[in-house]
A and B are shown apart, each in its own frame.
Chain A
Amino acid sequence: MRHKELLEGLEPSDQSVFKSKDDSERKESIDNLMESTKEDLRENEIKEAESIENALNDYSINI
C-alpha cells in the first residue's frame, strides 16, 4: 500500500528488461551478487591491511 502511494501517478509497463523472478530465483540472483561483492571486499581488506602496515612504518614528520 505504502509503495503504491509513493509511486502514485507512475504507470507500470510490461516492457521490463529485468526478467520477473519467483522467490527462489530472485534469492539465488541476490546471493550471487552478494557473493561476488564479498570476494572484492575481501581484496579491499587485504589492500587496507597493506596500507596500514606501510603507514605504520612511516615516521616522517610534516613540517
Chain B
Amino acid sequence: MSLFEVLNISKGNYAPLFESLSKYEIERNFTIDKKQLKSILNILPTNYSVVLEYFYVDKVFRSSYYNYYASKHFDINRFCVRLCFFKLSDIHIDDFYNSEKRFMLQESFMGFTVVQPISIGSIGRTYLNPHKINLGQCYVRTTIFNIVILGLLLEVETYPFSSQNSETMTCAETSLWTISEYFGTRYSNYRIYSPSEIGQIQSDIDFQKSMPSKGLSYIQSSHILKKIGFSPRVYYRYKSNENDDEIYEGGEFKRLFHYYIESGIPFIAGIKAQKGNTPIGHAVVCIGHGCKSEAKVAPSQLNDLYFVDSSKYYSDYVINDDNQLPFKIEKFNSPSLYTNAKFKYFIAPLYNRIFLEAKDAYTIVTNILKNVNYGIGKILTDKELNYSKSNPLVIRFFLTSARKYKAYRSENYPHIGLARVYTQIPFPKFIWVAELSIESEFQKENIFGEIILDATASRFSMESAIISIHYPGYIGYRTPDESIETLFTRLEINYPGLNGFYPVYVNNLVKVV
C-alpha cells in the first residue's frame, strides 16, 4: 500500500477518494462511516485536494487502542488514515518540498480528519478551519493547532471534533476530551488528557467497571472536569426529569447559557430527548452563537427602566455534536437530531480563581442600574441618547480576561481618559463586563458604557465586586486600596468628554463570514 496519496477532488466528486479508502477498508477489515464522512466532505468547497496519509499514528486512537482495542481477540489495526484538505484543486506531492509553494500550502490548508480502523466511530479527530469551510455566518471559539505533514509544519485554527466510537468514547467522553484538547492547547494552566487518561479518572470514581463505556451522568462529567484542573459550575434547568417545569424562570436558563457562550468558554451541555419512545440523554459541546436577530425584542422592566438582555437577540448556537458535524448551527429550542430535544443542563469549566458566577454578577449589575441614587435612569433622560420604550437600554454581559479587555479598550474608547483608566488601574485576572447601549446603536455594534465586576469576588462580599461604572459622561472606579465610597464619589462628577458611542468588545469569539 502507498504511504501517501494526493487526490484532486473536483465538482464535489468524491468517487476517487472513496475508491482509495475502500482498499484500506478491505485491507484492515472494517467499514468507514461513509454517510458521516460525506457530510464532512459536503461542508468543504467543491474543488480541493486531499492528501491521504495511510500509516498515520493518531494520538487519540492509539490511546484507546492500547487501553482497550489491543485486548480484543480479533485483530484491530493500529494505524489510521489522515485526510488533509487543501483549498487548491491541483496540488502535487512534490509541492511539499518546494519552498516557494509552502506558503501557498499553509494558506490553502483547511484542516484534516482522521479515519480510524473501526466500524463504529470511524471518523476520528477532525480539525477544520471554520473560516475556510462552508459554514453559515456565526461566532465561534477557536485556537491554533499545529500538525506536520510530509515534513511541513501547518497550522489550523479550529475547535476539535470527533465522532463517538461508543466503546471507549461516548458523547460525554468525547465532549470532555475536546474540552481538554482545546484548553490544554490554548492555555499553559491546563494540560491535555488523552481518552485513556479520562477513562482512568472515570474508573477511579466509578462503582463498577468502566470499559466498554456506558456513558456518563452529568455528575461524573463534572467530577472529571474537576479532576483535570477546572472549577466547573453546573446549571441544571428543570425541577424534575419528568416534566418541563423550569427552576430558572422567564428564560433565565437560556440567558445564563448565552453569557458563558458570549464569554468564549466552551462548555458541555446535556440534552434530554427521545429516540422513538425511549427517553435518552446526550452531551454536546457549545462553542459559539449564530447571528444577532435584527427584529425588535419586547423589552423587560427594571423598575421604570426598559431594557433588553442581549441574549434575547440570539436563537442559534454553534455546537460540536459527535453524532453530527463540526460547527453545527442549531436552534436553542431544538439542539439535536433526536425528537423533543432540549438543553437540560450545562457545565461551565471555569478557571479555579473565578468565584463570582454569572447569575450573581448579573444581579449586582441590575441592582446598580435600577438604583435610585446611582442607577442609569437619570442618564437616559438625555434626549441625545434617544432612549425610549421602543428604543430600550441593552445589556450585554460576559466574562473575559483582564489582559484581553485592556488590550481591546486601549484602542477602542470614546476618550483617551477612559483608555487610561481601564489600562492603568489593576484588574483581577478575570472580570465580568456588562456593556450598556440602546437598541438602535447596539444593532450597529456600539455601546455607551459598561460596568466592570471582579470575578474573584463572591456573593458574600458583593460590595467588593464593583471595580468601575462608566455611564455616558460619568466614570466611577477604584483601585484595590480604595473604598467603594471613592468609586461613587468619582461617579458623581460629570465629564461631557466621556459621552459618545464606541465599539462593543469582540475578543471572546471569532466571526465567521
CB-based nearest B residue for A47? B247
A6 lies within 8 A of B421 (CB): yes
In the complex, how many angstroms separate the beta carbon of A59 from the nearest chain B beta carbon?
6
Instruction: Return the chain A residue nearest B491 by Cβ.
Output: A18
Chain B residue numbers with a CB within 8 Å of A30 are 463, 484-485, 488
Give residues 354-395 of B contacting A (CB, 8 Å).
359-360, 363-364, 366-368, 371-374, 378-379, 381
Provide the main secondary structure of the chain A interface: helix
The B interface, classified by DSSP as helix, strand, loop or mixed, is: mixed
- Contact A12 B493, beta carbon cutoff 8 Å: yes
Produce 1/0 per residue, B214-243, CB < 8 A to A. 111111010000000000001110111100
Q: Is B186's CB within 8 Å of the partner chain A?
A: no
Interface residues of A in 2-49 (CB under 8 A from B): 2-3, 5-21, 23, 26-27, 29-30, 32-34, 36-38, 40-41, 44-45, 47-48
A60 touches B241 (CB 8 A): yes
Q: Which residues of chain A have C-beta atoms less than 8 A from B494's C-beta?
A: 12-18
Q: CA of A11 to CA of B499 in the docked complex: distance in angstroms?
A: 12
Partner-contacting stretch, out of B2-10, B44-52, B398-406, B412-420: B412-420
> In the complex the two chains form, is B363's CB within 8 Å of A37's CB?
yes
Whether the pair B359, A44 counts as a contact (CB closer than 8 A) is yes
Q: Which of the residues B216, B345, B485 comes within 8 Å of A23, measured between beta carbons?
A: B485
| Structural contact, A7 and B282, CB atoms closer than 8 A | no
A41 B270 Cβ-Cβ under 8 A: no
B79 in the interface (beta carbon within 8 A):
no
Q: With A and B bound together, what is the CA distance between A20 and B287 in angstroms?
A: 46
Q: Least Cβ distance of B411 to chain A in Å?
A: 17
Kindly identify, within residues 264 to 283 of chain B, every residue whose CB is under 8 Å from any CB belonging to chain A: 270-272, 279-283
Q: Is B474 an interface residue (CB 8 A)?
A: yes
Q: A9-B416, A55-B234 are in contact. Are A33 and B367 (CB under 8 A)?
A: yes
Chain A contact residue count (CB 8 A cutoff): 49
For B248, list chain A residues within 8 Å (CB): 47, 51
| B496, A11: Cβ atoms closer than 8 Å | yes
Residues of B within 8 A of A8 (CB): 417, 420
Q: Write the B151-167 contact mask toward A (1 if CB under 8 angstroms, else 0).
A: 00000000000000010
Query: Once the chains bind, are B345 and A9 in contact (CB under 8 Å)?
Result: no
Q: Which residues of B contact A1 (CB under 8 A)?
A: none
Contact of B417 among A10, A20, A41 (CB under 8 A): A10
Q: Are A38 and B421 in contact (CB under 8 A)?
A: no
Interface presence of B350 (CB below 8 A): no
Question: A-B contact count, CB below 8 Å?
Answer: 163
Let me know if A11 and B497 touch, CB within 8 A: yes
Return chain B residues, CB-CB under 8 Å to A13: 494-496
Contact pattern, B 471-498, Cβ under 8 Å of A = 1, otherwise 0: 0001100010000110011111111111
Q: What is the distance, in angstroms, from A40's C-beta to the closest C-beta of chain B? A: 5
Q: Is residue B172 contacting chain A, with contact meaning CB distance below 8 A?
A: yes
Checking A2, A51, A59, A62 against B236 with a beta-carbon cut-off of 8 angstroms, the contacting residue is A51
Q: Is the CB of A63 within 8 A of B171?
A: yes
Contacts of B142 in A (CB 8 A): none
Within the complex, what minimum Cβ distance (angstroms) separates B210 from chain A?
12
Q: Contact between B345 and A63 (Cβ–Cβ < 8 Å)?
A: no
Residues of A within 8 A of B64 (CB): none
Tell me how far the C-beta of B76 lies from the nearest C-beta in chain A, rounded to whole angstroms. Answer: 22
Q: B170 at interface (Cβ–Cβ under 8 A)?
A: yes
A18 touches B378 (CB 8 A): yes
B367 touches A9 (CB 8 A): no
In the complex, the answer to whether A33 meets B236 with C-beta atoms within 8 Å is no
What's the Cα separation between A4 and B127 when bound, in Å?
Answer: 51
Which residues of B are found within 8 Å of A15, using beta-carbon distances?
494, 496
Contact A40-B367, Cβ < 8 Å, known A30-B485, A63-B281: yes
Instruction: Check if A61 sits within 8 Å of B217, measured CB to CB.
Output: yes
Max count, chain B CB within 10 A of own CB: residue among A8, A9, A41 = A41
Q: How far is the CA of A18 from the CA of B172 in the complex (A)?
A: 52
Shortest CB-to-CB span from B154 to chain A, Å, is: 34
Contact A7 B492 (CB under 8 A): no
Task: List, in ascending order, chain B residues with CB within 8 A of A6's CB.
Answer: 417, 420-421, 424-425
Output the least CB separation between A22 and chain B (Å): 11
A19 proximity list for chain B (CB < 8 A): 373, 492
Chain A contacts to B: CB under 8 angstroms? 2-3, 5-21, 23, 26-27, 29-30, 32-34, 36-38, 40-41, 44-45, 47-48, 50-52, 54-63
Give 4 closest A-B pairs by Cβ, nearest first. Answer: A55-B236, A63-B215, A16-B494, A17-B378
Q: Interface of B with A (CB < 8 Å)?
A: 166, 170-172, 214-219, 221, 234-236, 238-241, 247-248, 270-272, 279-283, 344-345, 359-360, 363-364, 366-368, 371-374, 378-379, 381, 415-417, 420-421, 424-425, 459, 462-463, 474-475, 479, 484-485, 488-498
